[in-house]
Each structure stands twice: as structure tokens, then as C-alpha cells.
């Protein structure tokens, strides 16, 4: 997989996580533990993306 393809894949996953978080927050009784887990995943992806973009 090329670096550009990996960046696109990670960026798509990051966007998907953002959507999941937004949708979960719309629920009156949202699951705070799930939201926290999703935010941690999103942050980890952002760090990976930043590292890959610096390597380009």
C-alpha cells in the first residue's frame, strides 16, 4: 500500500469516527464510555496521520 493510500484510508477512518461520535452525542442517553473510546481512537488516528504526512 502506498503512503498516499494509507493516508487516505486513515483519513476516511478518522472522518467515520467523527461521524460516529456526532451521532452518538445526538442520543439523549448517550454512552459516555463509548464516546471516550471513539475519541481516543480518533486521536490515535490523527497522530498517525500527522506522522505519515511529515514523512512525505
Q: Block means of pLDDT (10 residues each) for the chain, length 56 residues?
A: 92 96 94 97 96 91
Q: What is the pLDDT of residue 47?
A: 96
- For the chain, what are the domain ranges? 3-55
Q: What is the pLDDT of residue 24?
A: 95
Q: What is the pLDDT of residue 56?
A: 82
Q: What is the pLDDT of residue 1?
A: 80
- Predicted TM-score (pTM) of the model is 0.86
Gap between the Cα atoms of 40 and 17, Å rounded: 10
Give Cβ neighbours of residue 38 (< 8 Å, ≥ 6 apart).
17, 20, 21, 24
Q: What is the pLDDT of residue 51?
A: 95
Gap between the Cα atoms of 28 and 12, Å rounded: 27
Amino acid at each position: 500500500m502506498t503512503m498516499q493510500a494509507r493516508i487516505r484510508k486513515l483519513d476516511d477512518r478518522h472522518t467515520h469516527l467523527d461521524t460516529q461520535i456526532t451521532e452518538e452525542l445526538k442520543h439523549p442517553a448517550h454512552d459516555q464510555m463509548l464516546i471516550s473510546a471513539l475519541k481516543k481512537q480518533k486521536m490515535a488516528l490523527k497522530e498517525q496521520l500527522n506522522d505519515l504526512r511529515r514523512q512525505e
